[in-house]
C-alpha cells in the first residue's frame, strides 16, 4: 500500500526538495495528490530552456506563449490559495528581442512572488556587455515591497533606475545580496541600497556597471569605480570584483574576497575590520595598488588578530614578501609571478599550498612553522631544469612538516594536444631512517606529457635521489 502519499504536506514538500529537479517534476504524474503537492511546492524554479527549443519562428512564438502561461499559472496558484513561496528562481537566456517582449510578464511574476511572501529571489538574465545594445530589464518596484525577502540574487542585464532609488527602499529582512553584471544609473546607487539593509550579512558585487548618459557608444556604461560600506553591524562577508576603490568599515566582518581589475589602479581600505578571519586577494598589482606596502604582510597579527586564512591569487605586488602571523592556519599562493623571495613566520600554520606556472621558481623559507604543517606544491613548468628543481625542492625539509606533496607537470602551451591526462606516482623505494620523527614524504606526483614521458621521469628520478641525499644525510 502507498503509505507515503498520506504523509503531511510539509513532509512531502521536504521529500521533493531532496530530489533532482527532473525527478521532482515526474512526481506530478503519479496521482492527483502528488500533482497538487508539486504545484504547491514552495521552491519554484522557472527556466525557459525547459520549454523553449530552437525551431522556426512560428513554433518558437508558440513555445514562448506556452512558457509564459505556465509561469503565470504556477504563481497564480500560490497567490489564489494564499500560499507562501520559499524560493523563486527565474532564469532567462533568450535573445534581446524575445527578452524585451516578455519583460511585462516578468514584472507580473515578481509582483505575484512578492505578494506570496517570497524569502529568496533569484533572477538570472544574459550577461551585460559594454558593447551590447540590448535593453536591460528595469527591476520592478514590487521587489522592494517584499518585506519577507531575506536573499536577493540578480545576475545579468538588470537595471536599477533612478525611480527605483527614489522609492523608500527598505530591505528590512535582507541578509544576502548578490549582484553580478547589473547596471546602476548612479555611482552611489549601490551604497543607497546597502544602507537600507540593516540585517545584511553577505554582499557580493561582481563586475557591475554604471550608466553614463554623456558617453558615446560603448562608453555609455563603465565598470563601477568605487563602493563604500560602513555602519553594517551584521555584515559577515563580502565578495567584490571589478571595483577600483573599496572602503569597508564593518566591525564584525569575517571574510573578504577582493578581485581587482588588472587594467585599472586599485585602492582598498579595510584596516578597521579587526575581526577578519579569511582574506583572499586576486589580481592585485604593485604598480596599480595604493593599499599594500612591502611591510603590509609583516605583522598581520596586530592588524587582524583573528586572521586564519590568507590567499593571494595572480598577485604581483612585490619581489620579496614576508608574512608573519601567530594565528594564521592556512596560506595559499597561486601564480604570484613577481615574487622572488618568500619568508613565512607562522608558528601555527597547518596548511601551505603553492601553485605556480612558469620556470622562475622563488626562494621559500619557513622561519617558524608547526610540526603539523601540510605542504602541497604544484608546478607547471615549460622548460623544467634539474638544477632549478633541485634548488627549489631543497628548501622543503620533511622533518619540519607532517606531510609534503609535490606535483610537477611540464607544459607545452603551443599545443595542448600534447597533454597526457594520466598521473604518475613516484613511490619512495627506500624506507626512511627511523631516527626521523616525521617520516611523511612518501611520493612525488608527476604529470607528464606523452612525448617527453621517459625523459622527464628520468629527470625527476635523478632530482628525487639528490634531494633525499641532501635532506636525510
In the block, residue with C-alpha cell 592556519: 329
pLDDT number for residue 428: 35
Distance, in Å, from the CA atom of 234 to the CA atom of 247, rounded to the nearest integer, reads 17
* Contact in structure between 329 and 307 (CB atoms under 8 Å): no
Write down the H helix ranges in 81-166.
Answer: 96-115, 142-145, 162-166
3-state secondary structure of 48: helix
Helix axes 453-472, 386-393, angle to 10 degrees: 40
- Give yes or no for a contact between 227 and 201, defined as CB atoms under 8 angstroms apart: no
CB atoms within 10 A of CB 398: 20
Bridge partners of 408?
379, 446
Q: Is the pTM of this model over 0.85?
A: no
Rounded to a whole number, what is the largest CA-CA distance in the chain?
A: 80
Distance CA 19, CA 59 (A): 32
* CA–CA distance, 327 with 15 (Å, rounded to integer): 43
Using CA atoms, how far apart are residues 260 and 438, in angstroms rounded to an integer?
Answer: 41
* Eight-class DSSP state of 263: T
465, 344, 345, 440: which is closest to 354 by C-alpha? Answer: 344
User: Which residue is it, cell 632530482?
Assistant: 463
Spatial distance between the Cα atoms of 325 and 298, rounded to a whole number of angstroms: 8
**8 A C-beta contact, residue 405 and residue 420:** no
Question: Which bin fits 156, alpha (ψ -120 to 50), beta or left (φ > 0)?
Answer: left
pLDDT at 352: 94
Q: What is d(CA 153, CA 45) in angstroms, rounded to the nearest whole number?
A: 14
CA distance 378 to 357: 8
As a whole number of angstroms, the distance between CA 462 and CA 454 comes to: 12
Q: How far is 278 from 19, CA to CA, in rounded Å?
A: 34
Please choose, from the candidates 200, 225, 195, the residue with its C-alpha nearest in 3D space to the C-alpha of residue 210: 225
Distance CA 109, CA 304 (A): 45
Instruction: Give the bridge partners for 237, in sequence order.
Output: 202, 255
Measured torsion, CA atoms of residues 77, 80, 81, 83, in degrees rounded to the nearest 10 = 70
**Nearest alpha carbon to residue 276 among 249, 244, 294:** 249
C-alpha distances out from residue 27 to 13, 32, 39, 221, 426, Å: 11, 10, 10, 46, 51
With 0-12 / 13-18 / 19 or more C-beta atoms within 10 angstroms meaning exposed / middle / buried, residue 266 is buried
Question: What per-residue confidence (pLDDT) applies to 217?
Answer: 57
**To the nearest 5 percent, what fractions of the chain are helix, strand and coil?**
30, 30, 40
DSSP string, 404-430: EEEEEEE--TT-GGGEEEEEEEEE--S
Indicate the length of the chain as a whole number.
473
Walking along the chain (473 residues) 10 residues at a time, the average pLDDT comes out as 76 78 76 77 80 62 85 90 90 77 90 92 86 75 83 93 70 93 88 89 95 68 91 94 93 94 81 93 75 78 92 88 92 90 93 88 89 88 70 76 78 44 34 33 41 50 60 50
Residue ranges with strand state E in 191-319: 202-206, 209-211, 221-223, 226-230, 237-241, 245-249, 255-259, 267-269, 278-282, 309-313
CA distance 176 to 203: 6
pLDDT at 319: 86
**Per-residue b or e along 62-77, where b marks 16 or more CB atoms closer than 10 Å to that residue's CB:** ebbeebbeebeebbeb
Angle 26-32-34 from CA coordinates, rounded to 5°: 45
The pLDDT of residue 411 is 60
Amino acid at each position: 500500500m502507498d503509505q507515503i502519499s498520506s504523509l503531511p504536506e510539509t513532509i512531502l514538500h521536504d521529500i521533493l526538495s531532496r530530489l533532482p529537479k527532473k525527478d521532482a517534476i515526474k512526481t506530478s504524474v503519479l496521482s492527483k495528490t502528488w500533482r497538487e503537492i508539486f504545484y504547491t511546492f514552495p521552491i519554484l524554479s522557472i527556466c525557459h530552456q525547459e520549454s523553449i527549443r530552437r525551431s522556426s519562428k512560428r513554433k518558437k512564438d508558440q513555445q514562448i506563449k506556452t512558457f509564459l502561461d505556465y509561469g503565470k499559472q504556477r504563481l497564480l496558484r500560490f497567490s489564489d490559495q494564499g500560499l507562501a513561496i520559499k524560493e523563486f528562481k527565474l532564469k532567462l537566456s533568450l535573445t534581446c528581442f524575445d527578452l524585451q517582449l516578455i519583460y511585462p510578464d516578468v514584472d507580473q511574476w515578481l509582483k505575484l512572488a512578492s505578494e506570496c511572501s517570497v524569502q529568496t529571489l533569484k533572477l538570472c538574465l544574459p550577461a551585460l556587455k559594454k558593447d551590447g545594445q540590448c535593453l536591460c530589464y528595469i527591476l520592478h518596484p514590487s521587489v522592494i515591497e517584499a518585506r519577507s525577502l531575506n536573499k536577493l540574487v540578480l545576475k545579468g542585464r538588470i537595471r536599477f533606475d533612478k525611480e527605483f532609488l527614489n522609492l523608500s527602499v527598505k530591505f528590512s529582512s535582507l541578509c544576502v545580496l548578490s549582484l553580478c553584471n547589473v547596471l546602476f544609473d548612479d555611482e552611489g546607487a549601490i551604497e543607497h541600497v546597502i544602507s537600507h539593509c540593516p540585517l545584511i550579512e553577505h554582499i557580493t558585487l561582481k563586475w557591475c556597471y554604471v550608466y553614463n548618459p554623456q558617453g558615446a557608444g560603448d562608453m555609455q556604461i563603465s565598470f563601477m569605480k568605487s563602493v563604500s560600506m560602513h555602519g553594517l553591524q551584521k555584515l559577515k562577508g563580502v565578495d567584490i570584483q571589478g571595483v577600483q576603490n573599496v572602503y569597508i568599515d564593518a566591525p564584525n566582518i569575517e571574510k573578504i574576497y577582493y578581485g581587482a581589475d588588472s587594467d585599472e589602479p586599485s585602492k582598498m581600505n579595510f584596516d578597521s575590520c579587526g575581526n577578519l578571519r579569511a582574506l583572499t586577494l586576486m589580481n592585485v598589482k604593485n604598480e596599480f595598488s595604493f593599499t599594500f606596502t612591502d611591510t603590509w604582510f609583516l605583522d598581520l597579527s596586530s592588524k587582524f588578530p583573528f586572521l586564519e586564512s590568507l590567499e593571494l591569487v595572480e598577485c604581483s605586488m612585490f619581489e620579496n614578501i614576508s608574512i608573519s602571523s601567530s594565528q594564521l592556519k592556512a596560506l595559499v599562493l597561486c601564480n604570484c609571478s613577481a615574487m622572488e623571495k618568500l619568508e613565512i613566520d607562522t608558528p601555527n600554520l597547518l596548511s601551505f599550498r603553492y601553485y605556480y606556472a612558469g620556470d622562475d621558481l622563488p626562494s621559500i623559507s619557513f622561519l617558524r612553522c608547526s610540526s603539523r604543517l601540510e605542504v602541497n606544491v604544484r608546478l607547471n613548468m615549460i622548460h623544467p631544469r634539474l638544477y632549478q628543481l633541485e634548488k627549489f625542492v631543497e628548501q622543503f625539509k620533511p622533518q619540519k612538516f607532517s606531510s609534503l606533496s609535490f606535483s610537477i607537470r611540464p607544459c607545452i602551451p603551443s599545443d595542448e594536444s600534447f597533454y597526457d591526462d594520466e598521473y604518475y606516482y613516484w613511490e619512495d623505494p627506500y624506507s626512511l631512517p627511523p631516527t626521523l620523527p616525521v617520516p611523511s614524504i612518501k611520493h612525488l606526483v608527476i604529470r607528464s606529457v606523452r612525448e617527453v614521458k621517459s625523459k622527464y621521469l628520468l629527470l625527476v628520478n635523478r632530482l628525487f635521489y639528490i634531494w633525499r641525499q641532501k635532506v636525510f644525510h
